[in-house]
Structure 1
Amino acid sequence: MVKGYELTEGEYVIVEPDELEQISPGRSKTIDISAFVDLDQVDPIFFDRTYYLGPRSPEYAKIYALLATSLERTNRAGLAMFAMRGKEYLTAVRADGGLLELHTMHFADEVRDPRREIDSLPGEDVKLTAKELDTAQQLIGMLEVDWDPDAYRDTYAEQVRKLVEDKAAGREIAVSEGPPAEATNVVDLMDVLRRSLEGARGGKGEAEPAAAGGRKQSRRATSRTPKAATGTKSTSAKTAKAAPTAKKRITAKEDLDRLTKAELYERATDLDIPHRSTMNRDELQSAVQKAGRKRLRAAS
Structure 2
Amino acid sequence: MARPIWTGVLTFGLVTLPVGLYTATEDHTVHFHQLQRGTSDRIRNKRVNERTGKEVDSDRIVKGYELEEGEYVVVEPEELEEIAPGRSKVIDLAGFVDLHQVEPVYFDRTYYVGPRGKEYVKVYELMRAALERADKAGIATLTMRGKEYLTALRAQPGVLVLHTLHWADEVRDPARVVDQLPERRTRTDSKELRTAEQLIDALTIDWDPRDYRDTYEERVKRLVAAKRKGEEVVGEPEPPEATNVIDLMEVLNRSVEESRSRGRKGGGGKRPARRKEAEDLASLSKAELYERASDAGVPGRSKMTREELIEALERQGAAA
* TM-score, normalised by the number of residues in structure 1: 0.58
Percent identical across equivalent pairs?
52
Partner of residue 235, structure 1: none
Partner of residue 194, structure 1: 250
Over 3 Å counting, the alpha-carbon distance change for 1:38 and 1:164 in structure 2 is: same
2:229 to 171, 180, 197: 171
Deviation at 1:49, TM superposition (A): 1.3
- 1:144 partner amino acid: T
More strand by percentage: 2
Tell me the SS of whatever aligns to 1:88.
strand
Where do 1:149-188 residues align within 5 Å?
Answer: 149-164=209-224, 170-181=228-239, 184=242, 186-188=244-246
Over 3 Å counting, the alpha-carbon distance change for 1:76 and 1:222 in structure 2 is: closer
> Alignment length, in residue pairs?
204
Q: 1: CA distance between counterparts of 2:105 and 2:91?
A: 23
Where do 1:17-56 residues align within 5 Å?
Answer: 17-25=77-85, 29-56=89-116
Q: 2: CA distance between counterparts of 1:197 and 1:8?
A: 60
Structure 2 residue 188 is matched with structure 1 residue 128? yes
- 1:67 partner amino acid: M
Partner of residue 68, structure 1: 128
Stretches of structure 1 that go unaligned for 5 or more consecutive residues are 204-218, 224-300
Deviates more, 1:28-37 or 1:115-124: 28-37
Tell whether the 8 Å contact from 2:195 to 2:252 is kept in structure 1 after alignment.
Answer: no
* TM-score, normalised by the number of residues in structure 2: 0.54
Tell whether the 8 Å contact from 2:196 to 2:252 is kept in structure 1 after alignment.
Answer: no
Tell whether the 8 Å contact from 1:139 to 1:193 is kept in structure 2 after alignment.
Answer: no
Deviation at 1:106, TM superposition (A): 0.7
Q: 2: CA distance between counterparts of 1:126 and 1:3?
A: 49
Residues 94-146 of structure 1 deviation map (CA, whole Å, 9 limit, x = unaligned) = 11224211111111101111123224111133222222112212222222222
* C-alpha RMSD over aligned residues: 3.2
Over 3 Å counting, the alpha-carbon distance change for 1:93 and 1:195 in structure 2 is: same
Partner of residue 50, structure 2: none
Rg larger in structure: 1
Partner of residue 277, structure 2: none
Tell whether the 8 Å contact from 1:47 to 1:104 is kept in structure 2 after alignment.
Answer: yes
Partner of residue 169, structure 2: 109
Q: 2: CA distance between counterparts of 1:6 and 1:173?
A: 52
Stretches of structure 2 that go unaligned for 5 or more consecutive residues are 1-60, 260-265, 271-320
- 1:176 partner amino acid: V
Over 3 Å counting, the alpha-carbon distance change for 1:186 and 1:12 in structure 2 is: farther
- 1:141 partner amino acid: D
Tell me the SS of whatever aligns to 1:201.
helix
